[in-house]
């Protein structure tokens, strides 16, 4: 299973000459913490750099493209910062449930790493990546029916989720290169509002489903309806 270590490499880096020199390996960048100034704004790219022992501490981040995998064999119980997620349950436009497996290709904005480290900290997978990814996948799927999601709308759904993730994660210094749906599996016989194991395991999904149903009801009531008596339109009461 991918780990947060894929992004946050280590608290320790190679130090030589009494800790005055730090080497940043290829594919990585370094952020510097000063005991007097906090997180410094400059970023160290691959190569040799000079630091002040005791005063400066260097943290390495992976600057390469990383896979964020959503799959049924992922278990987050032992590692909340794993660069992955358990299978996601979502609701389609026609109130059907599907399970989602997918892969997102994510890369850190290296120039904004000091900002990420300062404002979000080391737990940005559990704080940002995972909740945003779950939310955007569910949001997009509520706009597509089950039949179309399983057939003609698949590529469209991938593009819409990718754009949603880009819009949301870019604000946090994360760039989404691409998004791929591995599988969309219908959950037969499940309807919104039922007391199911899905809701018990994910209470936030029950709330989402209820809100979606309420929003659709309000939306339907507000739509103008044809009036057979006068050939015009009126809103439902």
- The arrangement of strands across the sheet holding 15-16 comes to 15-16, 21-24, 47-50
Mean pLDDT of 126-134: 92
Domain total in the chain: 2
- Do both 190 and 93 map to the same domain? yes
User: Which CATH number goes with the domain that contains 95?
Assistant: 3.30.479.30
- Do both 87 and 53 map to the same domain? no
Q: Is residue 24 in a domain? A: yes
User: How does residue 209 score in pLDDT terms, banded at 50, 70 and 90?
Assistant: low
- Do both 29 and 139 map to the same domain? no
Give the range among 18-27, 148-157, 181-190, 211-220 with minimum mean pLDDT. Answer: 211-220
pLDDT of residue 18: 52
Angle 127-142-77 from CA coordinates, rounded to 5°: 35
Structural domain of 152: 66-221
pLDDT of residue 237: 35
- Do both 58 and 96 map to the same domain? no
Model-level pTM?
0.71
């Amino acid at each position: 299973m991918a780990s947060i270590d894929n992004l946050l490499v280590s608290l320790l880096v190679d130090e030589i000459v009494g800790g005055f020199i730090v080497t940043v390996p290829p594919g990585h960048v370094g952020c510097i913490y000063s005991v007097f100034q906090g997180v410094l704004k400059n970023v160290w790219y691959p190569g040799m750099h000079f630091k002040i022992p005791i005063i400066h501490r260097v943290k390495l981040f992976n600057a390469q493209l990383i896979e964020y995998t959503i799959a049924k064999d992922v278990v987050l119980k032992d590692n909340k910062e794993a660069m992955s997620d358990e299978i996601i349950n979502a609701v389609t436009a026609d109130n059907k449930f599907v399970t989602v497996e997918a892969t997102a290709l994510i890369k850190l904005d290296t120039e904004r790493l000091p900002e990420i480290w300062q404002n979000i900290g080391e737990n940005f997978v559990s704080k940002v990546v995972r909740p945003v990814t779950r939310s955007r996948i569910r949001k997009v799927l509520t706009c597509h029916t089950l039949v179309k999601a399983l057939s003609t709308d698949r590529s469209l759904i991938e593009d819409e989720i990718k754009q949603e993730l880009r819009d949301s994660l870019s604000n946090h210094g994360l760039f989404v290169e691409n998004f791929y749906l591995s599988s969309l599996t219908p959950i037969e016989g499940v309807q919104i509002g039922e007391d199911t194991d899905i809701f018990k395991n994910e209470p936030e999904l029950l709330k989402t489903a209820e809100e979606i149903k309420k929003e659709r009801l309000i939306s339907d009531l507000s739509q103008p309806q044809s009036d057979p008596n006068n050939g015009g339109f009126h809103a439902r009461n």
